[in-house]
Amino acid sequence: MSGARINRRIRYEPDEPCPPLVTLGVALQGVVLVLANTVLMVTIIVRAAGEDESYLTWAVFAALIVAGVSTALQAAHVGRCGAGRILMTGAGPHFIAVSVVALTFAACWARRGALRSATA
């Protein structure tokens, strides 16, 4: 076996702190990726379920808050929760089918309850 090769293109080791400007640039790229993806997925889900504009606004707000809190929890490494590394989290395409079914089912049950109370 030959000796280990040195890769001179590697600038930073995993535990080495990056300069603030590099950190800011990478953070902005991550925010843009998560923001666009989360807003798009939530909009598709809410529109497919037939909800109105006010529900869409609330759903996007709630999804962005959940994505931010879960990203912060992953970065913080609190107890057994979190990796201690930056892991961007947000809505993805695998949530679409389940979310549309849940919203449609909830709307059907809400209408059914309204009909029962109107006939009683």
56-84 confidence digits (pLDDT tens)? 999 999 999 998 888 888 888 778 888 88
Q: Token pair for residue 50?
A: 């037939």
Residue 2 neighbours by CB distance under 10 Å: 4
Residue 6 maps to a domain: no
Residue 5 maps to a domain: no
Q: Specify the number of domains making up the chain.
A: 1
Say what the pLDDT of residue 114 is: 58
The parent domain of residue 25 ranges over 20-119
Which whole-number Å values give the CA distances from 6 to 2, 9, 23, 120, in the listed order? 12, 9, 25, 79
For tokens 């993805």, name the residue: 92
Residue type at position 23: T
Residue 3 maps to a domain: no
Residue 8 maps to a domain: no
Spatial contact of 59 and 42, defined as CB atoms under 8 Å apart: yes
Residue 7 maps to a domain: no
Say what the pLDDT of residue 50 is: 84
Segment 96-101 long-range contacts (CB within 8 Å, at least 24 positions apart) = 96/41, 96/44, 96/45, 96/48, 99/45, 99/49, 100/45, 100/48, 100/49
Rounded average pLDDT over 45-55: 88
Residue 62 maps to a domain: yes
Residue 104 maps to a domain: yes
